[in-house]
Structure 1
Amino acid sequence: MVHDIAIIGAGLAGLSTAKTLRQFGFEVTVFEKEADIGGVWSASRRYPGLTTQNPRETYAFSDWPMPADYPEWPTGAQVQAYLETYVDHFGLRSSIRLGREVTAARPVGDGSGRWTIESRSVADGSVETKAFDYLIVCNGIFSIPAIPPYPGSDAFRDSGGQILHTSQFTDPEIARGRNLLVVGYGKSSCDVARACMEVAASTRVIARSIIWKIPKKLANTLNFKHLFLNRLGEGLFRYIEVKGFERFLHGPGKPIRNAMMNSVQGVIARQLRLKEIGLEPDGKLETIARSTVSLVTDGFYEAIGDGRISFHRGEIAELSPGQARLSDGTTVPADVIICGTGWHQRCDFLDRDVLSKVTDERGNFRLYRSMLPLGVPGIAFNGYNSSFFSQLNAEVSALWIANMLVGGLVLPPEEEQRRYIDSRLAWMEQRTNGKHSKGTNIIPFSVHHMDELLAEIDLRLPLLTRIRQWFVSIDAAEYAGLLPRLLKRHGRTLSTTSTGRN
């Protein structure tokens, strides 16, 4: 019988999992190595210029809206403050252990599915060990910064140069009066360059490839959420299994679908003047489905156009004191290098035997429904499904896990789970050209993924809601009724107190 659950990570997935499981009557302990909650929104990781990619109503939890006075795209600090109110409203504060890093998580070894968790205090180094009935890993896929090992890095640093990941660059004053070189073309890289160009002596961006970016408002009028944050927006991209109206979009109606995509692509190219500034991608707009979807940073392209930000295609070949030699042979001044170069998807706290079952030889996470590894009892993952609607995916996954833990889900045979995992990984690798974040990237198929989870636990959204979601952007509040329905199914009622307990 599962009673006491350990959760690693106090980001979106960890908090929503803790809140949901407590409402089902479980005891939870959340381990968070940072001094505050929030995960990617923690003050320890907020780079200058950080905002959400989603409008606030699409990025809130279903049962806790963001404040009405927040801007449409809240800042990182505002999101973290919002999460603090979520913790307080649902009475999670006493369950969260801040400043404690999980250094080891091991099966107890008696076949019970229980886990021994070893955690270390970040403040004083003290170590604690405790056994739990179940473990849920919510440390996220954006937890370990990846910085390339540039030749000459040591000499560059010894001379006073700094090399930081975007998540480590929390103070723009570091760039004041210095030559800034930003690596990458994702949202974080563009945000940092734009936020620091006024204080840096010079600002340059270097990237190996150019991707399509989506303006917040197409033609400066239409909010992108009405095109991409609904079921029709997802349906424009071919899913692993095409059903319903999507059969038309990718069959007889494909010319209509292609015309829509080409039209949007043309609008974006003209609006951002991509050809004029030399930043028009080679591929089609639909390639945004291969790895990630990045919003345009306000003012970034204007700064490229008037020379306040310089742009180079390629990569850093070598560093030396005060400068960087680029792959095209150009040498540029550089005092501070900020790397928006991705993340390592790893769980270093798991031992080798467990990891060999959780991941394959290439590091891909082998998880049924992006949550359950095969052959490792007593453990689940939440948040290992990068998506447009991270918080909603985390909530729906938490419902799926809770339903499983209270005996409401009969899993398919292990061989069927294995076929599902193999099929998903093969499809993800093929459609992303290998940029599938070790099997954790479901962009842009967030709603498809939630639909599958809800169908498996017989908790679908009402039909009229699903129809509406084809034509307007998804509102997180549309998912608020799912938890009460699942609680009622299991003879429980939704708590009316802030503690979230029944």
Structure 2
Amino acid sequence: MDHEVAIVGAGFSGLGIAIELKRHGLDDFVIVDQRADIGGVWLANTYPGIAVDIPSASYSFSYEPNPDWSRVFAPGAELKRYADHCADKYGLRPHLRLGTRVERARWDEAARLWRLATPSGEITARFLITANGVLHQPKRPDIPGLDDFAGKVMHTAEWDASHDLSGRRVGLIGTGASALQVIPRIAAEVGRLHVYQRTAIWVAPKPDFRVPRPVRRLFRAVPATQRAVRAVTNAVVELFLVTGITQNRRYPFVVRVIERVCRAHLRRQVPDPELRRALTPTYGFGCKRPSMSSTYYPAFLRGNVELVTAGIERITPKGVRTADGREQEFDTLILGTGFKVIEPDNLPPYPITGRDGVDLGEHWARERYHAYEGTSVPQAPNLWMLMGPYSFTGYSWFGMIEYQSTHVLRCLTEARRRGATRVQVRQEADDRFFRDMLRRAKGTAFYNNNCASSNSYYFDASGDAPLLRPTSTLQALRRSRRFRLDDYSFTR
């Protein structure tokens, strides 16, 4: 056996669980990632305007605050530097095995360990922790003719900084969270920009501004001040996003207030009623990933920017032809079409074969996506996922990492105490948790706020919404500390 624990993914999830392993005295682990560096999405995504979409004070580990965020909503490059800082401070570099793609993971029942197949050879580990996230496989739109386009094509998650957009005719497909950040940044640079919108997005005003140096010095000198700011931002996000969405049936007025704020924001920034109508969502807030921007709407007021709402019929060698018969010619096509999310080849992102030869992706496709406390399944002993079905609480990625890490470390610590080589969640515990999630989901915005027309990645092929855990972050954290260890079987 090569290692006691193998972690797949060197983004913040992988770094976070690695830090917790070291804190608990489990030093025999490896962090495997297919990229040449750490950082996950903050390494891969470098498009113009990339930044966090929740306040920076909340977007960090609670035990490792960063007093040096330059803005209320930090730009992407600062998140990459924060990842490097965490890896260095907590001594994670020696555990990294970068440039190594996991092609398959297979549970070996006889040896009671996981076998990871990589191009450079097999890695074996007693315990496997997947920290791949979900927003890491760019999704190309299923539009006829895309491969025939003669100009430059690039996805926002695969940005080519060497491609100069100055003066070019650009078509951008999609109006999701990434496009919302890209469009204002390139609108002044390109010659012409046509934005193809399938579904309008809810946009709230974004109070983004530089954090003054005296404030940053105060955060560094008196960390309690930054913790207080974090507590406030956490509470605001938890109230308006988590509570409003996950408890929509009980507190519908929360989402109604947000919708009024968003509509007022749109009215203030877009005086043209026809354009305003085209930019107004036809579904309720919360059905799709909510976004914030104070520069998105004004971009459409520029003379060189046009919003196109007619459906795309096909991509031609020269440009885009829409269902109304119009064809626009472009030099460059930008795909702001997001990522694969709840799909068999993304969750999990590589084949995972558990006990009795069960393929986890195929199992979920048949039996619906669910995992005990969002992290483990009976079909795969000694495996925990840091982004399993019903795991993300919605207020901060780091909140999810920390409560999931607490769950995993309780299991690993107990396994060590008992000398167990096999840890498996019981089927009845998994079934009980899934029933609870389905019951709670009935009260969310997903099923109470006219989501049918939203084209949301929150929903899977079964009509479930397993990406988001329908509880508060505090409830999830409390459960990670108090779940019954007897929900697992620990065997030698």
In structure 2, C-alpha distance between the alignment counterparts of 1:89 and 1:46, rounded to whole Å: 25
Note the C-alpha offset of 1:440: 4.6
**Does 2:371 correspond to 1:367?**
yes
Note the C-alpha offset of 1:172: 6.5
Corresponding residue number in structure 2 for 1:171: 161
Letter of the 2:36 counterpart: A
Q: 1:389 aligns with which of 384, 396, 402?
A: 396
In structure 2, C-alpha distance between the alignment counterparts of 1:381 and 1:183, rounded to whole Å: 32
Secondary structure of 2:297's match?
Answer: helix
Deviations 1:46-91 (A, max 9, x none): 2121011122111011111123352211111111011100110111
Corresponding residue number in structure 2 for 1:202: 192
C-alpha contact 1:22 1:28 (8 A) present in aligned 2 = no
1:260-299 equivalence runs, <5 A: 260-261=257-258, 263-273=260-270, 276=273, 277-278=275-276, 279-283=278-282, 287-296=284-293, 298-299=294-295
Note the C-alpha offset of 1:295: 1.5
In structure 1, C-alpha distance between the alignment counterparts of 2:9 and 2:272, rounded to whole Å: 43
Note the C-alpha offset of 1:272: 2.9
**Does 2:296 correspond to 1:313?**
no
**Does 2:398 correspond to 1:398?**
no
1:70-469 equivalence runs, <5 A: 70-110=70-110, 112=112, 114-120=113-119, 127-156=120-149, 159=150, 161-171=151-161, 173-217=163-207, 228-231=236-239, 233-239=241-247, 249=251, 257=254, 260-261=257-258, 263-273=260-270, 276=273, 277-278=275-276, 279-283=278-282, 287-296=284-293, 298-345=294-341, 346=346, 347-351=348-352, 353-356=357-360, 359-361=363-365, 365-384=369-388, 385-386=391-392, 387-407=394-414, 413-422=426-435, 424=437, 427=441, 430=447, 433=452, 435-436=457-458, 438=460, 439-442=465-468, 448-458=472-482
Deviations 1:161-200 (A, max 9, x none): 2322210114163433322111111121122222222332
In structure 1, C-alpha distance between the alignment counterparts of 2:369 and 2:303, rounded to whole Å: 43
C-alpha contact 1:33 1:102 (8 A) present in aligned 2 = yes
C-alpha contact 2:183 2:299 (8 A) present in aligned 1 = no
In structure 1, C-alpha distance between the alignment counterparts of 2:204 and 2:410, rounded to whole Å: 37
1:362–1:193 distance in 2 versus 1, CA, 3 Å: farther
1:303–1:35 distance in 2 versus 1, CA, 3 Å: same
1:84–1:412 distance in 2 versus 1, CA, 3 Å: closer
Letter of the 1:421 counterpart: F
C-alpha contact 2:243 2:472 (8 A) present in aligned 1 = no
C-alpha contact 1:228 1:234 (8 A) present in aligned 2 = no
In structure 1, C-alpha distance between the alignment counterparts of 2:241 and 2:339, rounded to whole Å: 27
Letter of the 2:4 counterpart: D
Corresponding residue number in structure 2 for 1:464: none
RMSD: 3.3
Note the C-alpha offset of 1:291: 2.5
C-alpha contact 2:195 2:305 (8 A) present in aligned 1 = yes
Secondary structure of 1:133's match?
Answer: strand
More off after superposition, 129-138 vs 380-389:
380-389
In structure 2, C-alpha distance between the alignment counterparts of 1:280 and 1:191, rounded to whole Å: 16
Corresponding residue number in structure 1 for 2:212: none
More off after superposition, 208-217 vs 1-10:
1-10
Corresponding residue number in structure 2 for 1:495: none
Deviations 1:390-440 (A, max 9, x none): 012111111111012212999985224224225536837746556425455
In structure 2, C-alpha distance between the alignment counterparts of 1:65 and 1:33, rounded to whole Å: 28
C-alpha contact 1:291 1:441 (8 A) present in aligned 2 = no
Note the C-alpha offset of 1:306: 2.7
Letter of the 2:380 counterpart: V
1:185–1:117 distance in 2 versus 1, CA, 3 Å: same
Deviations 1:261-293 (A, max 9, x none): 454244323333376333442446xx2322211
Note the C-alpha offset of 1:374: 2.5
Gaps of 5+ in 2: 209-231, 418-422, 484-492
Gaps of 5+ in 1: 121-126, 219-223, 460-502
TM-score by length of 2: 0.78
Deviations 1:316-351 (A, max 9, x none): 211222211023322112222221222224134324
In structure 2, C-alpha distance between the alignment counterparts of 1:69 and 1:146, rounded to whole Å: 30
In structure 1, C-alpha distance between the alignment counterparts of 2:424 and 2:114, rounded to whole Å: 21
1:52–1:363 distance in 2 versus 1, CA, 3 Å: farther
Deviations 1:198-221 (A, max 9, x none): 332211111111121111139xxx
**Does 2:67 correspond to 1:67?**
yes
1:354–1:334 distance in 2 versus 1, CA, 3 Å: farther
In structure 2, C-alpha distance between the alignment counterparts of 1:349 and 1:233, rounded to whole Å: 31
Secondary structure of 2:179's match?
Answer: helix
Secondary structure of 1:344's match?
Answer: coil
C-alpha contact 1:227 1:233 (8 A) present in aligned 2 = no
Letter of the 1:234 counterpart: V
C-alpha contact 1:180 1:337 (8 A) present in aligned 2 = yes
1:190–1:363 distance in 2 versus 1, CA, 3 Å: farther
TM-score by length of 1: 0.76
In structure 2, C-alpha distance between the alignment counterparts of 1:430 and 1:2, rounded to whole Å: 47
Letter of the 1:318 counterpart: R
Deviations 1:223-257 (A, max 9, x none): x95885133653333539x8xxxx5x46xxx5xx5
Deviations 1:335-379 (A, max 9, x none): 222212222241343246443477422695321222112321011
Paired-residue identity, %: 22
In structure 1, C-alpha distance between the alignment counterparts of 2:374 and 2:106, rounded to whole Å: 21
1:58–1:227 distance in 2 versus 1, CA, 3 Å: closer
Letter of the 1:394 counterpart: I
C-alpha contact 1:172 1:196 (8 A) present in aligned 2 = no
In structure 2, C-alpha distance between the alignment counterparts of 1:358 and 1:378, rounded to whole Å: 19
Note the C-alpha offset of 1:14: 0.8
